[in-house]
Amino acid sequence: MKPRDRLRIAMQKSGRLTEPALDLLNRCGLTFRQSRDKLFLFGEGEPVDLLLVRDDDIPGLIAQGVCDLGIVGRNVLSEFQLTAGREGPALSEWRSLGFGRCRLSIAVPQEFDYREPAQLQGMRIATSYPGLLGEWLRTNGVDAGVVTLAGSVEIAPRLGTADAICDLVQSGGTLVANQLREADVLLESEAVLTGPEALPTDERGDMIDLLLKRLDGVIQVRESRLLLLQTSRSALDAVIRLLPGGPQPTLLPVAGQPDQLMLQALCAGEVSWRQLEEIKKAGAREMFVLPVEKMLA
């Protein structure tokens, strides 16, 4: 295969991961020109292009070397590793991306009183994840029939083709609508960045390095806030004690007011009105909470 000089990332064409994945890449400084067929998005600034495909095809495209990286649910990656991917080159989970959280769970009819996996002995379980389900059944010493379906798994019990299902649950709405309830969790999933265990040694490897650093910067600060405030030196200790978690604050002098300090702190999460009011009571004023967009340590 002719070596490529541009990095190619596979992601879901249309689904729950598409929008947040594009948003994340945009925050990493990657922008794309839409091609007419929308299968291929050409990168404008950096040499990084996107291939928009069915999520289940993503690990295979990377294993074949058609794409260098992929953004996909951990559920899809793990299933591939247990089934089709067993033969080919190993794929790694490079980063978990913090969106698209869901669970791969066993669900049973509402009237079924589920307490333990052994109750599934001899049952037929419908799923699109035969690899993950099979492994879980083996681990739990349960001998059950696995009915592999490509989609609409949740209606199998009503159709009488299965007694239980193993499917993704996010809000739980699909289960309720089908008179099912979640019985056991096989896998906690979210969107991950995946790629081959061995990264390319050419410029694409450097590009992946750069992308991982930018991703870390974005992921780290996504929930962060920068807190700015003014305080008297005498109130400083009390104010610092109330600051939400994060690294040590920075202190700056205030021109013409030797007893005043300007404090700057990076906070790990949202800063609430309640917290601000407490800090103000301790002696702070002129307080600002700013979102953090990028960070390069």
- For ligand PRP, give the closer residue by CB, 121 or 161: 161
CB neighbour list of residue 119: distance below 8 Å, 6 or more residues apart: none
Binders of ligand PRP in range 4-23 (CB under 6 A): 16
Residue type, 213: K
Q: Is 150 in the site for ligand PRP (CB under 6 A)?
A: no
What are the structure tokens assigned to 295, written together?
Answer: 């960070």
CB neighbour list of residue 173: distance below 8 Å, 6 or more residues apart: none
Q: Are 277 and 241 in contact (CB under 8 A)?
A: no
Residue choice 49, 68, 163, 167 for contact with ligand PRP (CB under 6 A): 167
Q: Cα separation of 229 and 290, whole Å? A: 11
- For ligand PRP, give the closer residue by CB, 169 or 229: 169
Q: How far is the CB of 142 from ligand PRP (least distance, A)?
A: 22
Residue choice 45, 151, 160, 256 for contact with ligand PRP (CB under 6 A): 151
Point out which span in 57-65, 161-169, 251-259, 281-289 binds ligand PRP (CB under 6 A): 161-169
DSSP secondary structure letters along 116-155? -GGGGTT-EEEES-HHHHHHHHHHTT---EEEE-SS-GGG
Residue window 170-209: x/- pattern of binding to ligand PRP, with contact defined by CB under 6 A:
xxxxx-----------------------------------
Point out which span in 130-138, 166-174, 217-225, 244-252 binds ligand PRP (CB under 6 A): 166-174
Q: Which helix (H) or strand (E) holds 2?
A: none
Instruction: Give the binding-site size for ligand PRP (rule: CB under 6 A).
Output: 11
- For ligand PRP, give the closer residue by CB, 105 or 224: 105
Q: Residue 153 to residues 63, 107, 111, 136, 184: CA-CA distances in angstroms?
A: 27, 11, 19, 18, 16
Point out which span in 23-31, 156-164, 169-177, 242-250 binds ligand PRP (CB under 6 A): 169-177
Of 50, 96, 105, 108, nearest to 72 by C-alpha is 96
Ramachandran class of 285: left when φ > 0, alpha when ψ lies in -120 to 50, beta otherwise: beta
Point out which span in 107-115, 131-139, 164-172, 202-210 binds ligand PRP (CB under 6 A): 164-172
Of 34, 45, 33, nearest to 6 by C-alpha is 45
Q: How far is the CB of 271 from ligand PRP (least distance, A)?
A: 30
Q: How far is the CB of 173 from ligand PRP (least distance, A)?
A: 4
Neighbours of 11 (CB within 10 A): 25
Point out which span in 82-90, 104-112, 162-170, 280-288 binds ligand PRP (CB under 6 A): 162-170
Q: How far is the CB of 158 from ligand PRP (least distance, A)?
A: 14
Enumerate binding residues for ligand PRP (CB under 6 A).
16, 151, 154, 167-174
